[in-house]
Amino acid sequence: MTRELTQLQILRELEPVAEQNLNRHLSMAKEWHPHDYVPWDQGRNFAAMGGEDWDPSQSNLSEIAKIAMITNLLTEDNLPSYHREIAENFSQDGAWGTWVGRWTAEENRHGIVMRDYLVVTRGVDPVALEEARMIHMTNGVASPDDWGGFLENVAYVTFQELATRISHRNTGRVCNDPIADRMLQRISADENLHMIFYRTMCAAGLDLVPDQALEAITKVLTHFVMPGHGMPNFRRNGVMMAKHGIYDLRQHLEEVVQPVLKNWNIFERNDFGARGEIAREQLAAYVEKLEGDVLKFEEQRDKLLAREAARGQLQPA
Ligand SMILES: [Fe+2]
Ligand SMILES: [Fe+2]
């Protein structure tokens, strides 16, 4: 007979683990300053202060680098919505409250440094960026269905932090600027530590209430959408990012889903009851389907890229 606990009981039971995990995080996290990652000497005034407004010719970023930077920055900008979700589901008491505050402060740094970089280097149109931020933040978080409770939230953020880490890291590569690459590597290192905190908490949830936790994990994974869901052009930009290997289905499967499930030992554990076993079967079917989808996606992508390359060759030199 497996246990069934309320939200409040789970939070109370796991608080000592949260405290341990918080202390571990604080000992691992490196202090860093956004201003050290921005090439201020590339900056100059805009027209309102006697200079020149943005023009596409000023940007050194490729189209795909622009799209990836904007998508990742708008995701970071939406922090108040994520803060609300986490604060509601993790509570504000004791170690939970300290974590929520600390995590929020660390995340805020990501938006600060990326915006400073993009505005100073004139990498993207600052007016369009501001308009998109207004729309995205006004919409708030578009969480799929109504994910409620600690377990679903902690499962979602585990996968989301890892996905964000990969997306930032690969965006750094396509920027073709060592300064951007260094900045995004710095952010990725933060996302990795966040992921470890959430993954550890979710593992503790699995040990405490295996069936409840696996049901939450299965629900979250089978409904997974990236956090930028709801921002202007999200679908089109997501397709572009997948096409250029910044965040695609294989990365989602092999660098996010599988390593985390392996870390939790999902397919080898023997502490599930009947409900957990059903969830585990659903999860196994989902992973299998994803493996097929990866191959289909790559086949289509290869064809598309080949067609684009052929078209490029036909253009007059
Ligand atoms: Fe972040
Ligand atoms: Fe993060």
Token pair listed for 297: 């996606």
Task: Indicate which ligand has the atom closest to the C-alpha of 103.
Answer: 2
Summarize the confidence of residues 255-272 as an average pLDDT: 98
Mean pLDDT score, 12-35: 97
Distance in Å, CA 186 to ligand 2 centroid: 11
Largest CA distance in the chain: 73
What is the residue-averaged pLDDT of the chain? 93
Check: CB of residue 202 under 8 Å from CB of residue 136. no
User: Which pTM value belongs to this model?
Assistant: 0.94
pLDDT tens string 118-129:
999 999 999 999
The residues whose Cβ lies within 5 A of ligand 1, an ion, are: 107, 110
Residue 25 annotated in ligand binding? no
Q: Would you state the pLDDT for residue 146? A: 59
Å from CA of 276 to ligand 2 middle = 29
Q: How far is the CA of 191 from the centre of ligand 2 (A)?
A: 4
Query: For residue 250, what are the CA distances in angstroms to 12, 129, 256?
Result: 37, 29, 9
Q: Which two tokens stand for residue 81?
A: 């919505």
* Complete domains list, the chain, with CATH: 7-313 (1.10.620.20)
**Nearest ligand, measured from the Cα of 195:** 2
pLDDT at 44 over 90: yes
Distances (CA, A) of 131 to 74, 121, 231, 232: 11, 19, 11, 10
**Is residue 194 marked as binding?**
yes
Task: Check whether 59 has a pLDDT greater than 90.
Answer: yes
Instruction: Report residue 316's pLDDT band, with 50, 70 and 90 as the boundaries.
Output: very low
229 assigned ligand-binding residue: no
Q: Is 19 annotated as a binding residue?
A: no
281 is in an annotated binding site: no
